[in-house]
Chain A
Amino acid sequence: MKAAKENGSLSLVLVGGSSGSFTIFEEMLKLVKNPLSFALIFVLHRGKSSTAALPELFKKKTNVFMNEPFHLDPIEANSIYFAYPDYHLLIGSDRRFYYDCSDKDFFSRPSIDATFVSAAVSGIPVKAAMLFSGSSADGAFGMKTLAEKGFPTYVQQPAEAEFSRMPAEALAACDKHQILADGNLFSVINDILQ
Chain B
Amino acid sequence: MEYTELEILITRIREISGFDFSGYARPSLLRRASRYLTNHKMTLDALLVHIGKDGRAVYDLIQDLTVNYSEMFRDADFFVKVRTAVFPYLESYPTLRFWVAGCASGEEAYSLAIFLKEAGFLGRSLIYATDLSNKALTAGREGVFTLGNARTFSENYLAAGGRHSLSDYYHVAYNKAVIVPELRRNIVFSMHDLTGDGVFNEFQFISCRNVMIYFTLELRRKVFRLLYDSLSMLGFLCLGKRETLRYSGLEENFKVIDSALNIYQKIR
B210 contacts the other chain (Cβ, under 8 Å)?
Answer: yes
The 8 A CB mask of A54-91 against B (1 = contact, 0 = none) is 00000000000000011111000000000010011011
B32 interface hit (Cβ, 8 Å)? yes
Asked whether A99 and B242 contact (CB < 8 A) given A1-B26, A121-B3, the answer is yes
| Set of chain B residues within 8 Å of A87, measured between Cβ atoms | 241-242
Residues of chain A contacted by B214 (CB below 8 angstroms): 100
Given contacts A99-B213, A102-B35, A117-B34, contact A92 B27 (CB under 8 A): yes
Q: A84-B242, A92-B26, A100-B213 given as contacts; is B247 within 8 A of A72 (CB)?
A: yes
Indicate the member of B27, B34, B241, B244 with the most A CB atoms within 10 Å. Answer: B27
Residue of B at shortest CB range from A69?
A: B242
Q: Pick the residue among B2, B31, B212 that contacts A102 (CB under 8 A).
A: B31
Answer whether residue B202 sits at the interface, using C-beta atoms and an 8 A cutoff. Answer: no
- Cα of A87 to Cα of B220 in the assembled complex, Å: 19
Q: Is the CB of B27 within 8 A of A118?
A: yes
Chain A positions within 8 Å of B95 at CB level:
none
Closest chain A CB from B93 CB (angstroms): 31
Q: Which residues of A contact B27 (CB under 8 A)?
A: 90-93, 98, 100, 118, 122
Interface size class of B (residues with CB under 8 A): 20 to 34
Check if B229 is an interface residue, CB within 8 A of chain A.
no
**Roughly how many angstroms separate A40 CA and B2 CA in the complex, as a whole number?**
23
Least Cβ–Cβ distance between A3 and chain B, in angstroms: 12
Chain A residues with CB below 8 A from B220, complex form:
72
Q: Which residues of B contact A88 (CB under 8 A)?
A: 28, 31
Given contact pairs A49-B159, A71-B240, A71-B243, a sample of 11 additional A-B residue pairs in the complex whose CB atoms are under 8 Å apart: A1-B216, A70-B246, A73-B246, A87-B241, A88-B31, A92-B27, A100-B28, A102-B31, A103-B69, A118-B27, A121-B30
What residues make up the interface of A, taking CB atoms closer than 8 Å to B? 1, 49, 69-73, 84, 87-88, 90-93, 98-103, 114, 117-118, 121-122
User: Can you list 30 pairs linking A and B with CB atoms under 8 Å apart?
Assistant: A1-B26, A70-B243, A70-B244, A70-B246, A71-B212, A71-B240, A71-B242, A71-B244, A72-B220, A72-B246, A72-B247, A84-B241, A87-B242, A93-B27, A98-B25, A98-B28, A98-B213, A99-B28, A99-B210, A99-B213, A100-B32, A100-B214, A101-B240, A102-B31, A102-B69, A103-B35, A103-B69, A118-B31, A121-B2, A121-B3
List the 5 shortest-distance A-B pairs measured between CB atoms, nearest first: A90-B27, A100-B28, A98-B27, A99-B213, A92-B27
